[in-house]
Structures are given as structure tokens and as C-alpha cells.
Structure 1
């Protein structure tokens, strides 16, 4: 990892652990990240996007083991997708939960969406902080923007730290609900639905 990226990861991790909101690039779109154990920063993130609290935030991880550690249930379909070439990468999975094992900040959910990004900076951050709540950096239900200046112009308020790495794609990850039987592609993004079907057989 180059020195600049390492320094950015260290600054971002420190900010998140202190309860800050960070705007950062992912391997797909720009995201807004918070540490899940800082409820005040989670509340700020929802307000920043104008997102209803009823619409849960996805979780980003740096290891597949984080899923079960958080209380997620890895079904056979989820297992197949986690073993695919799209993990790490632009594939988000919604998994069911084991209520008795669920992380305190996920209590009340019957499923959560999880993704391991293919981005060394973000993976290094998560290695330091643990799993994070990360959502696309746009107003709720509005189009994702490519550049940091455009993103900051649209948000309701500013994040505590901004990492600008140039323009990013506006195509989000593909979301597959693995809690459903059979699994359901709930959002088609960077991974075509046909690829998901081929992996699941």
C-alpha cells in the first residue's frame, strides 16, 4: 500500500473510532461511513442523507468471518456467492440473523446487508475499526454523484473527514437477498443478474 493511502486509512480509522462521519471512496461509489457503536454519528449520517431511520444501513466487513461474528446466518446460497470472484467486490448480500448471537448495534433486525469491498484503503480501515456502517454518499433516493464536490453540494451537512480520490463510478453493488428462498436479486448493479443465477446454479 502506498504511503498516501496508508496515511488516509489511518486518519479515517481514527476519525471513525472517535465518532466521526467519513466520506470516502469505495471500489464502487463514494460512501459515507460511521462506526456502528457511535449512535450519535449514525443519527448524523441518516440526517446527512435525509434517509429515514426505518431504512437500515448496510455493513462493510474486511473478512467473511465477520458475518457470523456479527450474528449473521450464512445460508448455502450466501456461501456460494461469498466464494465467488465477486467477493471481495461489488456484491452485497442480505443475510438472516441468529438473535442470540446478534451484535448489540444490530438488535431488532431480522436481516442485514453486508459487503466486503475490493479496496485496499477501505479494507485497511475496517481491519482497524471492525465492521462499519457504510452507505452511498447521496441524498436518499437520489442519483449517486461521481465527484466529491458534487456530493458535498447535495448533502444536508458536511462529514467530519473527506477523502477525495477523483471521480468514482455511479454503479452500485448488486444486492442479493440470501435470506429469501430462493434468493432474490433486489438490486442489479455492477454484477449482472445472469452472473448471480449462474453462481447459484
Structure 2
């Protein structure tokens, strides 16, 4: 599928919003997401408030490169790098013992789901932001996840600080990522296929 051109101004506006603790609505390698600076506790709080999401549920974080993992995870089993390298579908890996992230983004056991994103807009935004970004489906908690931009509710659209223009005309497949939990020994289990 031919991807649209990534407009630098679109990236700049999203970047400014993230730097100022705001929320963005943006396309990812799976579905449209609500995002913010994953190291900013107040920004993460806004995500929970907008979605009406139970605060005991952790969030997913996006990075653009697996070299960044060591900055946010204490123990990374070698198998994680192999899974990231060879996976063909978007893969979120839940790691135990996250660090340097907003504590309200983590699960109660201190774990965090991280996906190395392969998406033109996300890659440019993450490279320039140089920090992880929260990614949670662009819907009110309990409602179905939007499969494309047109499915996003007015409540979400008006609740964010910036709506990315990239990808609004594309029809995604609406599939969430595969989710695996990996413990420091390298043992893993699928949480969502």
C-alpha cells in the first residue's frame, strides 16, 4: 500500500503538543491512538480521564528503536530482541520492571507493554521527540476501537489537543497488536494473538 507523504508541519505540531504535556490523536502501525509523553505523569492522567479508563489498567508505550529499551526496562531478555527483529506483525512485549516512565502508565506489578513501531508518521515523531509515547486506542473505555479515523467519536476528537492529519484518509485493518509477556529469564506467554 502506498503511504501518504509525512508533512513536517504535522509532525512539528504533534511534537509541540507532546512537549507541552498535551494529548495527540494519531495513526499508528495498528489503530488510531491517543498519545502523550510517557514520562509525564500529568499528561498520562489526562489520557485516563479522557478515556474514562480504569487506572489499574496499564498503558502501552511506543519506541522507534529497540536500542532505547534499556532506558525504560531493567532486565531485557535476549529473546526480546530476536522477537522484535523477526516479527512481521505489530508486537507489543510486556516487560517486568519498567523504569524512567510515569508510574501511572505502569501495571500494578511495575510492568509495561512496549512496541517498537514501524509506521512513517510515528517513526518521525518518536525520533524527534526522543522519548516514549503512550499509545492507547482512540475510544472511550468499553466502546469498540476505531478501525479508521472516521470511526473516532466526537468526544475523543474534541478531548485531545492536536489531531494529526497524516493517515486520516487511509482505511486500516483495525487490528490491535499481538501482545506477549516476557519475564527476565526469557520465558514468554501470549496475552493477545
Range with greater deviation from structure 2 (23-32 or 149-158):
149-158
Contact 1:72 1:111 (8 Å CA) reproduced: no
Matched, 1:169 2:170: no
Deviations 1:3-58 (A, max 9, x none): 65322112111111111100000111001100123322211111111111111111
How does 1:52-131 map onto structure 2 within 5 Å?
52-86=54-88, 90-97=90-97, 102-103=99-100, 105-106=102-103, 109-129=109-129, 130-131=131-132
Q: TM-score, normalised by structure 2?
A: 0.83
Q: Which structure 2 residue ranges, 5 or more long, are not aligned?
A: none
> Residues 98-118 of structure 1, C-alpha deviation per residue, up to 9 Å, x if partnerless?
7xxx21524875321100111
CA distance in 2, matches of 1:173, 1:3: 24
CA contact (8 A) 2:33 2:135 kept: yes
Q: Is the aligned partner of 1:184 residue 2:181? A: no
* CA 1:31–1:156: 2 relative to 1, 3 Å: closer
Q: Residue 25 of structure 1 is aligned with which of 24, 27, 31?
A: 27
SS at match of 2:35: strand
For 1:137-195, what per-residue CA distance to the aligned partner results, in whole angstroms no more than 9, with x for missing partners? 1222332112334313353952111124223321111001112863111011xxxxxxx
Alignment RMSD (CA, Å): 2.5
Unpaired segments ≥5 residues, structure 1:
189-201
Equivalent position of 1:50 in the other structure: 52
Matched with 1:141 is: 142
Q: Is the 8 A contact 1:48 1:156 kept in 2?
A: no
Cα gap change, 1:104 to 1:154, in 2 (>3 Å): closer
**Take 1:40 and 1:110, find their aligned partners in 2: how far apart are those partners?**
18
* Distance across 2 between alignment mates of 1:183 and 1:115: 16
